[in-house]
């Protein structure tokens, strides 16, 4: 796999090639190359098919030393158009003063405090429909991760909307947030711990979808 220096990498980015960042979500949230899609290495098999297009070339940003393992995981999932990886990874990109982006975390109790007072608050549950049906926050909308690339699903978000994303434990929501940011939706926050933490909140209004469960 080809090693790409920052200058060459940047030229390919300007050609609108997709950037796949396979670092763990905790590292990704703290800083990433703008428009990168985050799919942690261990999640490629399950999540790449719903997020990445197999016919599109990819540029990789990985953990140091994980380049070949990442390429192998992508090939196993039938992604064969890897143009190369950024030598030195994100840390080198950042150290050289290039522009970065990040994802804001909020705790579940902060969400509970915001719900009654923010008229522009939009809660997005990115879990699978069956998970959503088994219990979700009242008024949450369900856009499963594998549908996050659908323009029709995200076209309704307005500039004034304050999006709060959650999944089961806090990983898929970061992947979803990265996809939304790539599509220009930046006013969003990730709920730390996801549904696992939300359902423990005393003020959480939890509802189910019996029609789906029956």
Residue 194: give its domain's CATH number: 3.40.250.10
Structural domain count, the chain? 2
Residue-wise pLDDT for 103-130, tens only, equals: 999 999 999 999 999 999 999 999 999 9
Q: CA 113 to CA 130: how far, in whole Å?
A: 27
Q: For residue 212, is pLDDT > 80?
A: no
Specify the higher pLDDT residue, 210 or 116: 116
Boundary residue ending a domain (56, 76, 95): 95
Residue-wise pLDDT for 174-188, tens only, equals: 999 999 999 999 999
Say what the pTM is: 0.95
Question: For 5-154, where are the E strands, in sequence order?
Answer: 18-21, 36-38, 58-61, 82-86, 104-106, 121-125, 136-137, 141-142
| pLDDT at 121 (0 to 100) | 97
- Tell me, yes or no, whether 114 and 202 share the same domain: yes
- Tell me, yes or no, whether 86 and 24 share the same domain: yes
Residue-wise pLDDT for 12-60, tens only, equals: 999 989 999 999 999 999 999 999 999 999 999 999 999 998 889 999 9
| pLDDT at 69 (0 to 100) | 97
Residue-wise pLDDT for 117-165, tens only, equals: 999 999 999 999 999 999 999 999 999 999 998 888 888 898 899 999 9
Q: CA 138 to CA 183: how far, in whole Å?
A: 26
13 with 35: CB under 8 angstroms?
yes
Boundary residue ending a domain (64, 95, 126): 95
Q: For residue 211, is pLDDT > 80?
A: no
């Amino acid at each position: 796999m080809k090693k790409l220096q920052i200058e060459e990498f940047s030229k390919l980015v300007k050609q609108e090639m997709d950037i796949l960042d396979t670092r763990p979500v905790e590292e990704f949230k703290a800083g990433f190359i703008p428009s990168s899609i985050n799919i942690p290495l261990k999640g490629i098999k399950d999540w790449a098919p719903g997020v990445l297009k197999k016919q599109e070339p990819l540029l990789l940003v990985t953990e140091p030393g994980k380049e070949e393992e990442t390429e192998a995981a992508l090939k196993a999932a039938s992604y064969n158009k890897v143009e190369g990886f950024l030598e030195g990874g994100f840390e080198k990109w950042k150290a050289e003063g290039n522009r970065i982006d990040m994802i804001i975390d909020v705790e579940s109790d902060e969400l509970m405090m915001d719900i009654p007072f923010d008229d522009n608050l939009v809660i997005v549950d990115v879990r699978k429909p069956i998970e959503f049906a088994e219990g979700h926050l009242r008024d949450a909308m369900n856009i499963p991760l594998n549908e996050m690339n659908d323009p029709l699903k995200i076209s309704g978000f307005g500039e004034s909307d304050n999006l709060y994303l959650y999944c089961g434990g806090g990983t898929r929501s970061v992947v979803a947030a990265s996809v939304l940011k790539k599509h220009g939706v930046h006013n969003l926050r990730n709920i730390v711990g996801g549904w696992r933490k939300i359902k423990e909140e005393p003020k959480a209004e939890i509802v189910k979808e019996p029609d789906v469960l029956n």
